[in-house]
Amino acid sequence: MLTRCGDDLLSIAVDTPADAQALAKQLRQNGAWLEVVPGIDSVVVRFDIAALDGAAAQAAIETVIAEGIQPLPASGKVVEIPVVYGGMYGPDLDALSKETNLSVDEIVGLHTSRDYPVEMVGFTPGFAFIGGLDERLHVPRRSEPRQRVPAGSIGIADGRTGIYALASPGGWALIGRTSHTLFDPHAEDPFVLAPGMRVHFCAVAADDS
């Protein structure tokens, strides 16, 4: 479904985060768009209204969609993220234990038991939305977001894990923190994580993080 959401914006609904990334790449290769932004279940396209009216932009996008979404090859890269779970690093872990009727050790065991796909990076620079969370750990966002979440914090909400690459406000339930730097604006490649990669979380002690 293609929806006009502004004078110079069009939004395309897709089925999966992988489809969003693949369609975004195809659109960038087919058209002089000002911006193409993939999300979890949509792609937003911004176009130059001085050069292209809305109907023409929509027609150009529909042509690309009609060709079919070409899946992107998986990178195959698995990034290992060490995490100190609980305590000051994961202040919501004890409450989650009560909410899910799982022990803290069971929650940590489930969270470190598999590799997870990076679905998208956004919200703030380097913030990774990571899918594939065990259903037993599906919890909603906090009713009251925190004004400041420390960089490196690991949160869960709505079936996903999120990693705060930078300190920012946030409403995910915090279960741990990593000491890894996930966004470095001075690096040749500022982002450690990218869609198509996979992440494996490893529990470590605070002194080993």
Number of domains in the chain: 2
3-state secondary structure the chain: CEEEEECCEEEEECCCHHHHHHHHHHHHHCCCCCEEEECCCEEEEECCCCCCCHHHHHHHHHHHHHCCCCCCCCCCCEEEEEEEECCCCCCCHHHHHHHHCCCHHHHHHHHCCCEEEEEEECCCCCCEEECCCCHHHCCCCCCCCEEEECCCEEEEECCEEEECCCCEEECCEEEEECCCCCECCCCCCCECCCCCCEEEEEECCHHHC
Q: Are 183 and 96 in the same domain?
A: yes
The answer to the question of residue 73 being in a domain is no
Q: Are 51 and 91 in the same domain?
A: no
Distance CA 164, CA 162 (A): 7
Instruction: Indicate the residue among 10, 41, 66 that finishes a domain.
Output: 66
Instruction: Indicate the residue among 36, 66, 96 that finishes a domain.
Output: 66
Q: Are 52 and 102 in the same domain?
A: no
pLDDT for residue 209: 54
Instruction: Indicate the residue among 66, 90, 111 that finishes a domain.
Output: 66
pLDDT for residue 127: 94
Burial of 25 (0-12, 13-18, 19+ CB in 10 A): middle
Q: Are 93 and 42 in the same domain?
A: no
The answer to the question of residue 124 being in a domain is yes
Q: Are 195 and 171 in the same domain?
A: yes
The answer to the question of residue 202 being in a domain is yes
| Closest residue by Cα to residue 82 from 9, 180, 4 | 180
pLDDT for residue 77: 84
CA distances from 164 to 5, 31, 188 (A): 28, 33, 20
Query: Which tokens sit at 81?
Result: 């993220």
Q: Are 152 and 180 in the same domain?
A: yes
Q: Are 91 and 191 in the same domain?
A: yes
Q: Are 27 and 95 in the same domain?
A: no
The answer to the question of residue 22 being in a domain is yes
The answer to the question of residue 31 being in a domain is yes
Chain-centre distance for alpha carbon 124: 10
Contacts of 143 (CB under 8 A, 6+ apart): none
Q: Are 106 and 170 in the same domain?
A: yes
Profile the chain (209 residues) by mean pLDDT over runs of 10 residues: 85 91 90 88 91 87 89 82 96 95 97 94 91 95 94 96 95 96 88 91 83
Q: Are 22 and 89 in the same domain?
A: no
Q: Are 84 and 144 in the same domain?
A: yes
Residue 39 belongs to domain with CATH number:
3.30.1360.40
Q: Are 98 and 149 in the same domain?
A: yes
- Asked if 201 and 112 count as a contact pair (C-beta separation under 8 A), the reply is yes
Domain extent at residue 36: 2-66
